[in-house]
A and B are shown apart, each in its own frame.
Chain A
Amino acid sequence: MTAAAPVLAVNATMRRARRARRGVKTRIIAPLVVIGLIIVGAIAVPIAFAFDPLQADLLARLAPPGAVMSDGSTALLGTDQIGSDLFAQIMAGARVSLLVGVATLAISGLVGVALGLLAGHFGGWIDATLMRVADIQLAFPSILLAILIASVLGQGVGNIIIVLSISNWVVFARVARSQVLSLKNREYVEAARTLGAGNWHLMFRTLLPGCMAPVIVVATTQFAQVILTEASLSFLGVGVPLGTPSLGSTIFNGTQYLSTAWWISTLPGVVLVILMLAFGILGDALRDKYDPTLRSA
């Protein structure tokens, strides 16, 4: 009995680890397929429909999904309050979302990882300063900060990217720093030191490759976060400028018609949920694949 208890505990841990690993491949491939479809749609659909967000066709307004238009074509997902095709509009909105997501992650990822490496590698006052700045940043609600910056800088896709990058670098900096702290006393880092490697070599050739797995995992989950924040900002009217379709602004436009034309708000919302779910599941699966604590079991 006394001997069996620890064995059981070990078995339970291993079972949990194995369960977490089971189906990792499907959980990576399935969201990738969904994301791939949305990317293809976001690029191709607005072009195929010759989509112009400013063009109004008042005769065709508020048509329900599947309605046949006067020119004989079918509006797959219906039309909105100015008569533009909702499917094309949603895909154009997804295009903005993906663009903002990729650009934000690229900027905040580069800056965050670089600052995290600096803080972790040098320590001391550099570390203290950077991490206190990060703490201050984290204490401030990111959406409030985004509204503040957006109202100062004005609206525009470029500004949204800047705003979201400012509120997102902290996550990358913290992950990179914690990873560096766990790596920097490993013998192989000391071995590089005894070869006479300088700070640059140590940071980018020795430490950076060891930080990449957790950074990629965090990037995937942050992607969903960034897309949602962009949609929220656009919904609140401090995001993309008028005339640029975004999932958030399309949802907002539909709120006045919820009782008569539910599809205008609902369908872009569904696409947003699918996109976020896909990135969330992908991030989880990547964490299961790369998390060393699960891997060792």
Chain B
Amino acid sequence: MSSAGTTPLLRVTNLKVAYPIRSSLLQRKIGENVAVDDVTFDINPGETVGLVGESGSGKSTVARAVIGLVKSDGGRIEFEGNDITRHSPRQLKPVRREMQMVFQDPYASLNPRLTVRDLIAEAWRVHSDVVPRDRWTAEVKELMERVGLNPDYSDRYPHQFSGGQRQRIGIARALALRPKLIICDEPVSALDVSVQAQVLNLLDDLQDDLGLAYLFISHDLSVVEHLCDRVLVLHHGVVAEEGSAREVFDHPRDDYTRALLAAVPVARPWLEPSS
């Protein structure tokens, strides 16, 4: 699917992640729970790839393996052609600059004891060469403006913001390192429907302005349809179907995808031709 000659931004080949089952007494491994098996996909620069499936299908595990929060048990993860599968946290540090994450729960993913300024600047504290310290305040305000927050609120704490505003803070934090890829792990599922649309539009605008690529994880198919170029449907940790968003939504080939699509609630069922 990647155009000839260019390497994809992210290439995941045959990814497998299994959680060990340990005996209660000696903590010996007595089995494993395979969360993700044989998942393969590419993400090109500026592209949005959706990952859908029911809860427990391994969507989040894929994201966490890609960003290095869980270890993979097989397969390869390449970022811009470099194999990062077996990288230690120290080796991963330069890659983190290019790849950031927006978390599901905006209430849990922001440290309650840091101000917005410190939350966003934390990235620059870790990567000291991105923004010089005397530019932090100005850059924080710029980022806040960019994600639609009032820059005068930079000294406030997360609990003083609404859910949608918090998620904007989370997005600003992810943008702070100027990444090329942002992994969005159900970024709007904890938000009100009206706020969901605002945040999705923000993500869309940022993609247009900054040329970001997204790995977008969601169980909400309408969200994925709205945003994604390509879609992978995960079922019990394996890819049930893969294709462009149009293909998958209009002509689902797999039974599971069809079941998933049929489960989407319809706003005005009496207007639907069938049933």
- Tell which of B69, B110, B112 touches A194, judged by Cβ atoms closer than 8 Å: B69
CA distance A195 to B112 in the complex (A): 17
Is A188 in contact with B69, judged by CB distance below 8 angstroms? Answer: no
Is B111 part of the binding interface, using a Cβ–Cβ cutoff of 8 Å? yes
Is A196 in contact with B69, judged by CB distance below 8 angstroms? Answer: no
CA distance A198 to B110 in the complex (A): 18
Is A194 in contact with B111, judged by CB distance below 8 angstroms? Answer: no
Interface residues of B in 105-125 (CB under 8 A from A): 105, 108-113, 122-123, 125
**Residues of A contacting B126 in the complex (Cβ-Cβ under 8 angstroms):** 192, 195-198, 201
Number of interface residues, chain A, beta carbon within 8 A: 17
Shortest Cβ distance from B106 into chain A, in angstroms?
9
**Residues of B contacting A188 in the complex (Cβ-Cβ under 8 angstroms):** 108-112
**Residues of A contacting B51 in the complex (Cβ-Cβ under 8 angstroms):** none
**Residues of A contacting B177 in the complex (Cβ-Cβ under 8 angstroms):** 195
Is B113 in contact with A191, judged by CB distance below 8 angstroms? Answer: no
- Bitwise, B67-89 to A at CB < 8 A (1) or not (0) is 11100000000000000000001
Is A168 part of the binding interface, using a Cβ–Cβ cutoff of 8 Å? no
Shortest Cβ distance from A131 into chain B, in angstroms?
15
Minimum CB distance partner of A210 in chain B: B113
Shortest Cβ distance from A97 into chain B, in angstroms?
34
Shortest Cβ distance from A31 into chain B, in angstroms?
26
Minimum CB distance partner of B183 in chain A: A194
**Residues of B contacting A193 in the complex (Cβ-Cβ under 8 angstroms):** 69, 89
A206 with B111, Cβ < 8 A, contacts A191-B173, A194-B67, A195-B177 known: yes
Is B108 in contact with A186, judged by CB distance below 8 angstroms? Answer: yes
- Tell which of B97, B105, B108 touches A196, judged by Cβ atoms closer than 8 Å: B97
Is A201 in contact with B125, judged by CB distance below 8 angstroms? Answer: yes
A192 with B100, Cβ < 8 A, contacts A197-B126, A198-B89 known: no
**Residues of A contacting B112 in the complex (Cβ-Cβ under 8 angstroms):** 188
A196 with B101, Cβ < 8 A, contacts A191-B173, A201-B126 known: no
Is A187 part of the binding interface, using a Cβ–Cβ cutoff of 8 Å? yes
Shortest Cβ distance from B59 into chain A, in angstroms?
16
Is B127 part of the binding interface, using a Cβ–Cβ cutoff of 8 Å? yes
Is B93 in contact with A191, judged by CB distance below 8 angstroms? Answer: no
Minimum CB distance partner of B109 in chain A: A187
Which residues of chain B have a CB within 8 Å of any CB of chain A?
67-69, 89-90, 92-93, 96-97, 100-101, 103-105, 108-113, 122-123, 125-127, 170, 173, 177
- 11 A–B pairs (Cβ distance < 8 Å), ordered by A: A187-B104, A188-B110, A188-B111, A188-B112, A191-B170, A191-B173, A192-B126, A193-B69, A195-B122, A196-B96, A196-B127
A191-B101, A205-B125 given. 9 additional CB < 8 A pairs? A187-B108, A187-B109, A190-B69, A191-B110, A191-B173, A196-B89, A197-B126, A198-B126, A201-B126
Which residues of chain A have a CB within 8 Å of any CB of chain B?
186-188, 190-198, 201, 205-206, 209-210
